[in-house]
Amino acid sequence: MGKKDAELLWTNPQVFPELIEYANFYYGMGLSDQKIDGFKRTVEKLEPETDNLSPISVSLMGKGDIASNWNKQYAWLQDRMSEIGHEVYSCIYAEEIELKAQNTQGPSLEVVRFNLKQSEGGVSYRAPKQLRWAGLEVMTMLCLSPQCFTLLNGKVLPMICANGARFATAFVPIFLCENGEPHIQARWVNHNGPDKSESGFWSRTQIPTIATI
């Protein structure tokens, strides 16, 4: 999983500043010029990515509350998927989302690296102290690389559980592609981890952690 003729599947990070500036303007993220300029300097220093299961991405929190940010990024994601001929189907209501271990004081913008590698023995759901769970960052990653949403089938790339974004009921958003259709679903994950009755589903799913670069 994660390789496709050794081809890098994710968008080149050097393109990120242009995409972030577009989102900032059209979706009202509220990022200052100073913050974007600092982001550009960080991106310029990045080494080329070589691993599809450790992609470089962005943690973006715009102005407003969590629901507002989810809705803005979902609108951005819909537009990005439309550009490549796909719709996104979602059963998630932004007002139900809570974020944990993420700066919600916004606006904030930083470069992060995802870990999509399956842990030994199955899905990992406990993040090492130096890492944090990916929440809204999963949405951002797919806005930057919409082509990869169509590959989240558990074969080319794992389906992704945004464990840093939860509902009060302990459901979490899952980003996946079924029968060629990108979806955002809600699945149950309690304090002990994923529901063991759905082991087949979770064997193709990764709960990623992220680290700031």
Q: Where are the alpha helices (DSSP H) in the chain?
A: 16-26, 33-44, 66-83, 136-144, 146-149, 199-202
Q: Which of 138, 125, 140 is nearest to 39 (CA)?
A: 140
pTM of the prediction? 0.88
Contact 70, 94 (CB under 8 A): yes
Digit-by-digit pLDDT tens for the chain (213 residues) are: 544 445 889 999 999 999 999 999 999 999 999 999 999 999 999 988 889 999 999 999 999 888 899 999 999 999 999 999 999 999 888 888 887 655 556 799 999 999 988 654 445 545 555 567 788 999 999 999 999 999 999 889 999 988 888 876 778 899 999 999 999 998 876 555 555 555 566 667 777 878 888
